[in-house]
A and B are shown apart, each in its own frame.
Chain A
């Protein structure tokens, strides 16, 4: 089965958008009118508003032949909180499915390692790099939804992609929902995390599944997040190191050039050349730093977010399981209750039978519903986890490939630049 790709390279991404994302059950073919396709892109971030209320708006372009959609193309303007709305709605409706993760609202995660993050957080929020990173992440978010065979059929998705801005605003305001907190992904998942930990650790009522495979999975997901977060942290530091090395090489180059001017003659020229090469390499290092950030660190972060999303689903499943158990309990207790009532004789048999039947029917329906929900979650999760693992192997494979390519290219550039100096140096000593 062809997986939806994770095109982090902008070029690849645009290519991806142009070719469209086929419904995953069908083999990819160039979209004709008969093949259903839904292709979305998030573009053109624009800063709107002033001061504290400033925000970024994005153009969301949808190309599709789905019958329910206003095709073939529709463009709407959306902001971050609209994406959050979509995520929340999907999470609510499609329990058991791993909802694609959103980038963080502010750059808190990214800036954790920035010394003066309080001061610079505001500045960074609108830095070109951050805006572009977020745009890419949002684009990925929507595309993943659009290529998920269940999620793509969501009514909320359609609203998100098609509704007029005023309608969207209204929908956003209406959202009371489970998540009363401000749309901060981290905060939500932190809550979920503690809830799930409590459940996993058995701090709450010991109403837990006893499936050993599932236990193993839960443990795996929790541990995985820690490992990934560490890897991502070092990846981010590596970006910084590249920038720092680039800077010192540039400073060194300048100093060496001045020294060369002082020395004069062929030695001076040699110094001068060294300085020039240093400055060239400094630029390459800065470029590579950016590449690492986009093509390596960001995918790792994305991986972490995905794991956090799974944790939210785990919490949902726990809730659902508890509900199922509770309702089953309730059914039993109610039966006993009703029998007692019959026994007491405060109601005639016929009325009792009618009452009893109604109550039991209702309760049993609820209980069956809860059981169905839970079982559906279990089933979906099993499918999802397999898909998730496959997808992540692919995503990481690409990320590693890009990273290694960048490092190899940088190293070769460095070797080449310095190598070109050698004949000149040789000539200097011969002179």
Chain B
């Protein structure tokens, strides 16, 4: 019964009256709310899920229609979000300086929450990087396709503004397609094992079929922007060659694509070391990756040289101790993930409840507006006009309160979205941990391989020493074996180094996670609390006026 209500019929009639009523109010600045169909924006949050994902980012669905929102402040470097439109809640200005004292690049005029540091700025040297994804265009694959109309795909314009020295430039733009993003993500996963690499947007095969093309493209655009910004915010990955090349190099993306179909399909599936699948020798160059069918080792060599140089002289701590510390941390992370998930779910319900409250308050206001109009039109007695005035007061307050609830909700979504962000990050953490375990597996496999080979060599030596003068073929075998042992020894060493490297990455990343999470969560709490205070005060004011205006009735009745 309730659910089947047709809202627009209730809303469209009194729109005019609402404008008239509302226009005459001093405090009200919603003079040109042209969204005639939906003056309160009641329908705009119908899918709060999308609100959660889109609102916290660039595109505020109400931005075009709600004139309460001033254009985004140019000072904000990351999300051109629309929080600056709140005339600062009175408490804000008095009490708060920007929350993250260090970062001067993000200046929040309203004092509300900054974007989370994983996507925001955190560099003490005021480095910044701003990435925008825009302008999706459908293009044709101009291959020698017999089929006319060939393969079409969408490219996005990716513009970057930065002062990070590694980029050697301030502003540049390229066109990329989603496939390029997948390539970037794969290359990063190979090169930055052990790091918490932000997960890339899904390929969403099903969604791309089911959704409207426009909607899908927009959704993807938003997701890409988020992803690239997160990459940019990572202290290591944001300065990586792969990332730079992706953002800067015109034309075709000069990164090797993943040609191995199997590994592309088994995104993240467990991969067995090659040696267990029957091949004989592992070259040292192969151990820097969890064994898979990849072909490109050029860059791996580079990394290898790099990592060997870095780790040279680094002491290897006793395995057991560190492992224990790591295991504790891992457990803690898992517990944390559970709690964040839970909190995130409840946050969604909270947002929905706030949204509903605002909607119903608005509908109540509208109903009273209709009553006011009715009483005024039909009045034959003065008392009716008096009542109509009282109703108008209530209606105006309800409509205003409804709008405040809606605005508050936009803020809440933005702040509590931090929880969502960290959930996404947990995926990256899992990835980094699995890098570690597969590297360890490689080491262990090699160690056991080595010990097998050595015992074989010993046996051969023992056997051949009994034969005086030596067995030519046995000698040859021994030589070969010793060569193999040498190679395997090298591989083992490299594998160990790789493992150590990954452990270090894990460690530094965990520290960074703890640091940044603390800041981000504190900012989230502050942002949430501040906006709650601000809007509660506004709502209280609105109702206090009605209390004053109707004060006479209470005296009369006692």
Contacts and interface: CB of A to CB of B under 8 A. Distances in A.
A425 B440 CA distance: 42
A47 interface: no
Nearest to B92: A422
B463 to A, nearest CB: 61
A271 B521 CA distance: 9
Nearest to B404: A411
A274 B525 contact: yes
Interface string A328-349: 0000000000000000000000
A96 interface: no
B529 A235 contact: no
Interface string A233-273: 11101101110110111011011101101110001001100
A249 to B, nearest CB: 6
Given A398-B554, A422-B530, A238 B360 contact: yes
A394 interface: yes
B553 A394 contact: yes
A412 B538 CA distance: 9
A407 B370 contact: no
B321 interface: no
A425 B174 CA distance: 42
| SS class, residues of chain B in contact with chain A | helix
Interface in A1-22: 5-7, 12, 15
Nearest to A213: B380
A241 B360 contact: yes
Contact of A396 (B378, B390, B557): B390
A405 interface: yes
Interface stretch (A61-69, A138-146, A222-230): A222-230
B442 to A, nearest CB: 33
A389 B363 contact: no
Given A267-B518, A425-B525, A414 B536 contact: yes
B537 interface: yes
B364 A425 contact: no
B446 interface: no
Given A252-B346, A262-B336, A404 B546 contact: yes
A249 B91 CA distance: 23
Interface in A210-228: 213, 216-217, 219-220, 223-224, 227-228
Contacts of B281: none
A35 to B, nearest CB: 19
Contacts of B537: 411, 415
B510 interface: no
A14 to B, nearest CB: 13
A52 to B, nearest CB: 27
Given A404-B397, A407-B401, A231 B346 contact: no
A312 B374 CA distance: 22
A130 interface: no
B330 interface: no
B543 A244 contact: no
B352 interface: yes
A400 B552 CA distance: 12
Interface in B86-102: 91, 95-96, 99
Interface stretch (B33-41, B70-78, B337-345): B337-345
B381 A404 contact: no
A398 to B, nearest CB: 5
B394 A112 contact: no
Contacts of A425: 522, 525-526, 529
Contacts of A231: 364, 367-368, 371
B452 interface: no
| SS class, residues of chain A in contact with chain B | helix
Contacts of B99: 429
Interface string A289-304: 0000000000000000
A258 B353 CA distance: 21
Nearest to B345: A255
Interface residues of A, number: 73
Contacts of A256: 343, 346
Contact of A223 (B378, B525, B540): B378
B360 A422 contact: no
Contact of A242 (B357, B521, B553, B554): B357
B1 A112 contact: yes
Interface in B518-542: 518-519, 521-522, 525-526, 528-530, 532-533, 536-537, 539-540
B343 A234 contact: no
B383 A259 contact: no
Contacts of B2: 113, 237
Given A255-B346, A415-B533, A241 B357 contact: yes
Nearest to A258: B339
A401 B346 contact: no
A251 B533 contact: no
Contacts of B236: none
Contact of A422 (B1, B95, B342, B374): B95
Nearest to B333: A262
A97 B106 CA distance: 71
A417 B380 CA distance: 47
A228 B540 contact: no
A188 interface: no
A421 interface: yes
Contact of A393 (B368, B383, B521, B533): B383
A408 interface: yes
Contact of A249 (B350, B383, B552): B350
B552 A397 contact: yes
A93 interface: no
A252 B390 contact: no
Nearest to A281: B532
B335 interface: yes
Interface string B540-558: 1001101100111110111
Nearest to A415: B536
A428 interface: yes
Nearest to B387: A393
B347 interface: yes
Contacts of A123: none
Contacts of A7: 557
A386 interface: yes
A418 interface: yes
A419 interface: yes
Contact of B363 (A216, A237, A429): A237
B134 interface: no
B536 A262 contact: no
A389 to B, nearest CB: 5
Given A397-B553, A398-B553, A251 B349 contact: yes
B386 interface: yes
Given A390-B383, A415-B536, A422 B526 contact: yes
26 contacts: A7-B557, A227-B371, A231-B367, A234-B360, A234-B367, A245-B350, A249-B350, A252-B347, A252-B349, A259-B343, A261-B339, A263-B336, A274-B528, A389-B387, A390-B383, A394-B553, A397-B390, A398-B550, A400-B390, A404-B547, A407-B539, A411-B537, A414-B532, A422-B529, A425-B522, A425-B525
5 tightest A-B CB contacts, nearest first:
A397-B553, A411-B540, A404-B546, A415-B536, A401-B550
Interface of A: 5-7, 12, 15, 112-113, 213, 216-217, 219-220, 223-224, 227-228, 230-231, 233-235, 237-238, 240-242, 244-245, 247-249, 251-252, 254-256, 258-259, 261-263, 267, 270-271, 274, 386, 389-390, 392-394, 396-398, 400-401, 403-405, 407-408, 411-412, 414-415, 418-419, 421-422, 425-426, 428-429
Given A231-B368, A258-B343, A411-B536, 9 more contacts: A241-B356, A244-B356, A270-B525, A394-B553, A394-B556, A397-B390, A400-B390, A418-B532, A422-B526
